[in-house]
Amino acid sequence: MKNKTGEKYLSIKRNWCKRCGYCVEFCPKNVFDIGEDGYPVVARLEDCNECRICVYICPDLAVIAEPEVEEKIKDR
């Protein structure tokens, strides 16, 4: 899903993430990297083909693909 300006969007909700690494492993385009603290980071958003496997495979519902959703759950 693209945001209002038509750009790709992906973010990790760090306080929900449990660092299992599934998003890094299952992304077919290798968009994620594991950061120094073990949390995944969106490193190559330009390679994303918007298949949404990362959103589906995240057991902690911590990969967010829409800015509206991010806004909705930002205080949780």
Partner 1 sequence: MMESVVHHHLRPKKKFPHIWCPGCGHGIILSALVRALEKTGRERDEVVLVSGIGCSSRAPTYVDFSSLHGTHGRALAFATGIKLGNPRLTVIVLTGDGDALAIGGNHFIHACRRNIDITTVVFNNNIYGMTGGQYSPTMPTGAFAATAPYGMIEQDFDVCNLSVATGASFVARGAVTNPVALERYIRQGILTKGFSVIDVVEPCPPIYGFYNKTGTALDMMRSIKERTISIKKAESLSPEELKGKVLTGVFIDREYREYTEEYNKVIEEAKRSIQDEEPL
Q: Does 59 bind partner 1 (CB under 8 A)?
A: yes
Q: CB of 7: closest distance to partner 1 in angstroms?
A: 16
Cα–Cα distance for residue pair 75/64, rounded to 1 Å: 14
Distance, in Å, from the CA atom of 45 to the CA atom of 72, rounded to the nearest integer, reads 22
Within 6-45, the residues that bind partner 1 by CB under 8 A are 15-22, 25-26
**From CA 70, how far away is CA 61, in angstroms rounded?**
11
- Contact set with partner 1 (CB under 8 A): 1, 15-22, 25-26, 52-53, 55-62, 64-66, 69, 72-73, 76
